[in-house]
Amino acid sequence: MSIPAAIAVYTSGSGVPEHVSHRPWRGVYHFWDGSLTGLGQHLLERVRDAKGDMPSVVRQLIDDAPWGWTNCMSQPEHTAGERHTEADPGEPVSPDDTGAVAYVYVFDLEARRLDAFSTYVGDDGKRVGSVVFSPTGTPDVPALDLLPEEAVVEPPIPGEKLSPETLQAWLDGLPALEAGSSRLQWVSTEPGPDDSLSILFRRLTFDDDVLSRVEERDWNAVPHSARQEPERVRNFLEALVEVVREDSSRLDPFWIAAQDSLRRSGARQRESFARILRAQWARDSE
């Protein structure tokens, strides 16, 4: 999804600015999925994975990539990514030049904070969220755009570590997801390099019983922490099916693959996940 953004760091001043131009910063362009749930969430994970070493994150994302990024999220191990080059640089970005981007993310190293600004037409550079990190990299909130429904924290449901095979069996046992001439197919599950679990699924569309379209998504649905609570994962999947079956327009592979409640919320019960998913749909449909 091409939603360009900027990754930046403040160069002077202090405090939490309400506008993207109220404090000096320097930064680089990022082409791919700069949304709050895409690049924004990835930046939280970068700081967490770096165990709070925010200067190293700034070096990796800004100083070591002076021409910007096509996609810094393409390598989960954060060692490469897809960078622009001097021969093919990204767009220029600065506090007075944000016309090429929809979001700007600015690190405040002294305050251990990440500020997010929306530079979409109509938002005019206003601050839309901030996250403060502990010295070890734990964010004070799990997302920059947290909904009230996502703020719930419920008691853990520990169990045996969830395997790809068990997850696949659960998916195969879920009620069918169909809408008109389309239906969802759960294809496979795979472990990721960070011990997460990804789900490959397809929406198949038929025309007079002949397959006419295939849309495939690789959904990084289960973070490593949630694998230790298999019933939590099951509750989330059952809630997703419940909510999608309520409204056929929700059988949208883009929307389903964007759902990240197991990372963004401390919810654990099916009813809580259903409320979150309905709220996400309402916001995404605005």
Q: Which helix (H) or strand (E) holds 44?
A: helix 41-49
The predicted structure's pLDDT at residue 122: 74
| Mean of the per-residue pLDDT values of the chain | 93
- Could you tell me the two tokens for 46? 């970068």
Which amino acid, residue 45? E
The predicted structure's pLDDT at residue 209: 86
Residue-by-residue DSSP string for 72-112:
TTS-TTSS--EE--SSS-----BTTB-TT-SEEEEEETTTT
- Mean pLDDT over residues 6-20, rounded? 96
| Tens-place pLDDT, residues 81-90 | 689 998 999 9
List the strands of the sheet with 178-179, edge to edge.
178-179, 182-191, 197-207, 210-222
Q: How far apart are CA 220 and CA 191, in angstroms?
A: 9
- Mean pLDDT over residues 111-117, rounded? 98
Split at pLDDT 50, 70, 90, the class of 78 is: very low
| Tens-place pLDDT, residues 61-75 | 999 999 999 999 865
**Does the pLDDT at position 208 exceed 90?**
no
| Tens-place pLDDT, residues 143-189 | 898 999 999 999 999 999 999 999 999 999 999 999 999 999 999 99
Cα dihedral 102→34→11→86 (10° resolution): -100
**Does the pLDDT at position 77 exceed 90?**
no
Phi and psi, residue 113, nearest 5°: -130, 150
The predicted structure's pLDDT at residue 27: 97
Split at pLDDT 50, 70, 90, the class of 216 is: very high
- Mean pLDDT over residues 259-286, rounded? 94
**Does the pLDDT at position 111 exceed 90?**
yes
| Tens-place pLDDT, residues 228-267 | 999 999 999 999 999 999 999 999 999 999 999 998 899 9
Helix, strand counts (H, E) of the chain = 7, 11
**Does the pLDDT at position 1 exceed 60?**
no
Phi and psi, residue 18, nearest 5°: -95, -5
